[in-house]
Structure 1
Amino acid sequence: MPKRYLFFVSLPYSYSILRPLQQEIWKRGDEVAWFIEEPCEVLLNKDEKQLFSIQEVMDYQPIAVFAPGNHIYDFFPGVKVEVFHGYAMKKRIEKIDDHFTIRGWFDIYCTQGPSSTEYFKKLEKEKGFFKIYETGWCKVDPFFSVEHKVENERPLILYSPTFTKGISSAEALYGTLEKLMETKNWNWLITFHPKLDDAELIEKYRALAAKFPNVTFQRFNDGLETLKKIDVMLCDSSSIIIEAMLLDKPVVTYRNTHPGKHLIDVLDKNEIGKALEKALKRPENLIQEIHKYTLHHEAHRDGKNSERVLLAVDDFIEKYQGKLKPKPLNLIRKLKLRWKTKYFKL
């Protein structure tokens, strides 16, 4: 009998993260369905199955539920699996990244590489109610399945700032980018993180696409489909930087919170143009530093991360399910979720 799995989606970035995992589930001959939390936009294809109500999920009885976000419904059946929405990357000057916050929802954390596994293993030992498996990130399986070469007539620059207040460059760089769009022989693609909710700022950038024929505005970044067609990325401090560099795309950053040799980081917005010109030349030493940096974050390059995620679930069910310490009660959070969903069954 085929195994049944569930994808829990709360933000649009989840689709590109979970679809490689879906392909692996189908390859095994098993089944998967999607539960999309309101108000997230439904972006499913015709061959993808959606469950529309909590009762449908309860009837479906998945053996595991996968979530790229920070929460999941505790009352859903199955092992709760965190597959992450990005890499461990300190946006602020702080000791511990939010990537490592344990909220008490998950049974399994599928880490991506040395940058995340070591600290999660420490947390696993301390807390005792979840297991850590280094699987690699399921989203990037297609990144390594074929070679993604770009041959643009004019250089294509992706601008994709973070949503984090106080760190996002979107407001500070607007005028600078407008001038570059007008004067440089480059094409531009602008995307924003789903959590960016500044409607006025979004409309300002959308207007640039209407003003300049060499500018395209795309509300959300769709992962590989966006990244494979660009030459260079311009950003600030976001984990999408690592995704771009996995495809050997040089990245220019404005006031990155943790700059290094893998980036071309600038502190003066008037230097953005020169930095992009340098990035487009793809200096050999920069490409070498990119390789070293990305291996620290994504250790697995064989296109089998999704397979390892499913094997982790199998291993957990066989060895650990029902044998670990109980999760924290989280009573207030659980009551809030039940009130939100109007689901009060035990």
Structure 2
Amino acid sequence: MIKRYLFFVQQPYSFAILRPLQTEILSRGDEVVWYLNGKNVSINSLNNDEKYLTSVEEVKSYNPIAVFVPGNIVPDFFPGIKVQVFHGLEYKKQGHFVIRDFYDLYCTHGPLTTIPFDKLKEIHKHFEVIETGWPKLDPYVKNYQKVNNSKPVLLYAPTFSPSLTSALDLIEEIKQLALTNDYLIKVKFHPKMKQGWIKLYSEFKHDNFEICDADNIVPLIQEADVVISDTSSVVDESLIIGKCVITYKNSQPQACLLNFDKPENLTKMVKQALNLTPIQTQSIQDYVSQVHPYQDGNSSIRILEAVDKVISQGVKKKPLNLVRKYKIRKALNYFYLK
């Protein structure tokens, strides 16, 4: 019997997270469709062979067995179990462990997320937690080989949060790195970054400086020799792919990061990142084993197996949570109970 799945998407970064899962679903002869919600996403981001639905009625008729979401909310009135796959690996950010009573299954990435969610499961008792790994990384950790760049490529990927971003503090230092002609600087902004801040960077023109617009940052991380950030999900994604990461005023600095708090020290940190000691390399490996130990590229397989397990067990009754249910109905202009 063919299984039907649905992807509920509200942000551009969701496409790269879910497409490896789509590949696995289709390889099994099953079906999957996309449902895009909100002003931040458009059907123009879908590939020509990707199917999508545009109404609640179509979703109900399609009747998926599971709805996958890399975000905080999902329509409770959609058919199928609701599966949280997460929008990033940055477990340190506020809200990562908030239980919103929408989900039947949390697919965690490694011990640092599995253990806290297991504790929450014992408290709330209406969802399952299964460690699977993150589907976004599947194509990139399997058979990955580092590219030899003619000059070191530095990827700068600041977060958008005004209280955490390095975008304003480091702009002059980033320019100076490009001007040395020793490095190629690539900049990738978060979709929610303030346009005024992006403009400050886009006004700078140099052969060694490029602003990248692609939705998926992982190929940029793969190409880079060093990643520069602050407190962002990009940090963990980069570490897992084996990159050294420099962070500016990281909210929770750890041994696996080269953290600094004075902009003028950035050049020194770059030189250090390009010449890591064995101890620093080991600290990165130790951290990865806790955040995302899976390097086999099979997280999508484990997620689908987890879905089958939860469905066979039967879902548990969730709290009413009328306020959140009203908000999601308002967002989709759907005012029925089911």
- The match for 1:121 is 118
Q: Secondary structure at the match of 2:96?
A: helix
Give 1:320-339 correspondences, 5 Å limit. Answer: 320-321=314-315, 324=316, 326-339=317-330
CA-to-aligned-CA distance 1:88-113 (integer Å, 9 cap, x gap): 4324xxxxx42111111111000111
Deviation at 1:286, TM superposition (A): 1.9
Q: Secondary structure at the match of 2:210?
A: strand
- The match for 2:49 is 47
Q: What CA distance in whole angstroms lies between the structure 2 residues aligned with 1:219 and 1:169?
A: 19
Q: Secondary structure at the match of 1:171?
A: coil
Q: What CA distance in whole angstroms lies between the structure 2 residues aligned with 1:227 and 1:41?
A: 25
Q: Secondary structure at the match of 1:228?
A: helix
Q: What CA distance in whole angstroms lies between the structure 2 residues aligned with 1:294 and 1:269?
A: 27
Deviation at 1:132, TM superposition (A): 0.5
- The match for 2:232 is 238
2:153 to 127, 152, 156: 156
- The match for 1:343 is 334
Q: Does 1:80 align with 2:74?
A: no
- The match for 1:94 is none
1:141 to 117, 128, 138: 138
- The match for 2:24 is 24
Q: What CA distance in whole angstroms lies between the structure 2 residues aligned with 1:20 and 1:110?
A: 15
CA-to-aligned-CA distance 1:185-227 (integer Å, 9 cap, x gap): 211111111222x11111112222xx11211112455132221
Q: What CA distance in whole angstroms lies between the structure 2 residues aligned with 1:159 and 1:261?
A: 20
- The match for 2:288 is 294
Amino acid at match of 2:334: Y
Q: What CA distance in whole angstroms lies between the structure 1 residues aligned with 2:61 and 2:169?
A: 50
User: Is the 8 Å Cα contact of residues 86 and 239 (structure 1) preserved in structure 2?
Assistant: yes
Question: What are structure 1's unaligned runs of at least 5 residues?
Answer: 92-96
Deviation at 1:81, TM superposition (A): 0.2
2:63 to 56, 61, 64: 61
List structure 1 segments (4+ residues) > 3 angstroms apart after TM superposition: none
CA-to-aligned-CA distance 1:127-173 (integer Å, 9 cap, x gap): 01111011111111122211231211111110001122211111111
- The match for 1:304 is 298
Q: What CA distance in whole angstroms lies between the structure 2 residues aligned with 1:340 and 1:252?
A: 39
Deviation at 1:336, TM superposition (A): 2.1
CA-to-aligned-CA distance 1:295-332 (integer Å, 9 cap, x gap): 110022222111111111111111132xx2x2221212
Question: What are structure 2's unaligned runs of at least 5 residues?
Answer: none
Q: Does 1:173 align with 2:170?
A: yes
RMSD: 1.5
1:130 to 107, 114, 127: 127
- The match for 2:220 is 226
Amino acid at match of 1:46: N
Change over 3 Å in CA distance of 1:55–1:35 after alignment to 2: same
- The match for 1:205 is 201
Q: What CA distance in whole angstroms lies between the structure 2 residues aligned with 1:155 and 1:220?
A: 21
Query: 36-45 or 59-68, which moves further after superposition?
Result: 36-45
Q: What CA distance in whole angstroms lies between the structure 2 residues aligned with 1:283 and 1:189?
A: 25
Query: How many aligned positions are there?
Result: 335
Q: Secondary structure at the match of 1:136?
A: coil
Q: Secondary structure at the match of 1:147?
A: coil
Amino acid at match of 2:98: T
Q: Secondary structure at the match of 1:157?
A: strand
Q: What CA distance in whole angstroms lies between the structure 1 residues aligned with 2:90 and 2:228?
A: 19
User: Is the 8 Å Cα contact of residues 35 and 53 (structure 2) preserved in structure 1?
Assistant: yes
Query: 25-34 or 329-338, which moves further after superposition?
Result: 329-338
User: Is the 8 Å Cα contact of residues 66 and 83 (structure 1) preserved in structure 2?
Assistant: yes
Q: Secondary structure at the match of 2:200?
A: helix
Q: Secondary structure at the match of 1:185?
A: coil
Q: Does 1:268 align with 2:262?
A: yes
Q: What CA distance in whole angstroms lies between the structure 2 residues aligned with 1:280 and 1:261?
A: 16
Q: What CA distance in whole angstroms lies between the structure 1 residues aligned with 2:159 and 2:128?
A: 30
- For normalisation by structure 1, the TM-score amounts to 0.93
Q: Secondary structure at the match of 2:216?
A: coil
Amino acid at match of 1:120: F
Q: Secondary structure at the match of 1:166?
A: coil
> Identity of paired residues, percent?
41
Deviation at 1:272, TM superposition (A): 0.2
Amino acid at match of 1:18: L
Amino acid at match of 1:342: N
